[in-house]
């Protein structure tokens, strides 16, 4: 419930004329500056405005006004409305687009098709207020102005809000079926036991081969030294 009375200035006019409340109390209740309330009392502000009785409209009780008149530190409180107005339902269907912005819709549709291919046609219709036929013509490039179209962000164009766009993208992501076994988790580091552990095949390498390789190396070294000695003798 709003904490502002109905027709604040008209209510302030009535309270100034019919009560002994202070300017601060009236200003606090009507959400007006005390100097503005003083201007109403002096006849400088709200000239020609007819006072609105907050008691007859069910916004204040006579007892509440009487208690506030006796204690100027007391603040007036709005009464709870006796009649509950039903909440307005959100309008369903395509979003209304101003005439000055309608020529930008094809560019916005092209942007959505390229940057958010997961969006359904019904979601694009809700965002920019277009038709399914127009979306299809832009998708298959059969639109009459297709060569001149350039993708443009619908939020920047003022066709929808960023909150609405993010909401539709999140809905589309939830509706998208997950592919089993192809879940993209991004790059991950290898476990420590893999990076720091020894290869089992290296541990099982035959020692005979190691000794054989050493003998071959020394034999080659010995042969090279023998050849060098023969060259010196010559």
Parent domain of 143: 99-175
| Predicted model pTM | 0.38
How far is residue 206's CA from residue 169's CA, in Å, rounded to a whole number? 60
User: What pLDDT, on the 0 to 100 scale, is given for residue 58?
Assistant: 85
Domain termination residue (choose one: 70, 85, 112): 70
The pLDDT value given to residue 121: 92
Domain for residue 150, yes or no? yes
2 lies in some domain: no
The 3-class SS string of the chain reads: CCCCCCCHHHHHHHHHHHCCCCHHHHHHHHCCCHHHHHHHHHCCCCCCCCCCCCCCCCCCCHHHHHHHHHCCCCCCCCCCCCCCCCCCCCCCCCCCCCHHHHHHHHHHHHHHHHHCCCCCHHHHHHHHCCCHHHHHHHHCCCCCCHHHCCCCCHHHHCCCCHHHHHHHHHHHHHHCCCCCCCCCCCCCCCCHHHHHCCCHHHHCCCHHHHHHHHHHHHHHHHHHHHHHHHHHHC
pLDDT per residue, tens digit, the chain (234 aa), is: 457 787 888 999 999 999 999 999 999 999 889 998 998 888 887 777 888 899 888 888 899 999 999 998 999 888 876 655 555 555 555 555 555 566 888 999 999 999 899 999 999 999 988 899 999 999 999 999 888 999 999 888 888 888 888 888 888 887 765 544 444 444 444 555 555 555 555 555 455 454 455 666 566 666 555 555 555 555
Number of domains in the chain: 2
Q: Is residue 117 part of a domain?
A: yes
Asked which of 134, 159, 175 is the last residue of a domain, the reply is 175
Say what the pLDDT of residue 84 is: 59
183 within domain boundaries: no
Which pLDDT score, from 0 to 100, does residue 98 have? 59
Neighbouring residues of 21: CB distance < 8 A, sequence distance ≥ 6: 15, 65, 68, 69, 72, 76
pLDDT of the residue at 95? 57
Say what the pLDDT of residue 173 is: 82
Please report whether residue 78 resides in a domain.
Answer: no
Q: Which two tokens stand for residue 155?
A: 């939020």
Q: What is the pLDDT of residue 14?
A: 93
Structural domain contains residue 89: no
């Amino acid at each position: 419930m709003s904490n502002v009375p109905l027709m604040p200035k008209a209510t302030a006019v009535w309270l100034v004329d019919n009560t002994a409340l202070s300017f601060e109390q009236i200003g606090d209740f009507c959400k007006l500056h005390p100097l503005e309330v003083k201007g109403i009392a002096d006849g400088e502000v709200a000239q020609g405005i007819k006072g609105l009785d907050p008691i007859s409209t069910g916004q204040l009780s006579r007892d509440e006004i009487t208690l506030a008149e006796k204690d100027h530190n007391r603040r007036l409180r709005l009464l709870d409305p006796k009649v509950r107005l039903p909440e307005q339902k959100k309008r369903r269907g395509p979003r209304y687009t101003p005439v000055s912005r309608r020529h930008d819709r094809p560019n916005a549709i092209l942007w959505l098709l390229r940057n958010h291919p997961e969006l359904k046609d019904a979601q694009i219709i809700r965002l920019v207020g277009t038709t399914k036929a127009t979306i299809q013509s832009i998708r298959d490039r059969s639109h009459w102005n297709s060569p001149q179209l350039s993708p443009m962000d619908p939020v920047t164009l003022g066709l929808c809000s960023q909150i609405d766009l993010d909401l539709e993208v999140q809905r589309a992501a939830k509706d998208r079926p997950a592919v089993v076994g192809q879940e993209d988790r991004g790059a991950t580091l290898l476990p420590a036991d893999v990076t720091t552990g020894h290869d089992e095949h290296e541990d099982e390498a035959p020692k005979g081969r190691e000794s054989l390789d050493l003998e071959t190396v020394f034999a080659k070294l010995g042969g090279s030294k023998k050849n060098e000695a023969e060259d010196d003798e010559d």
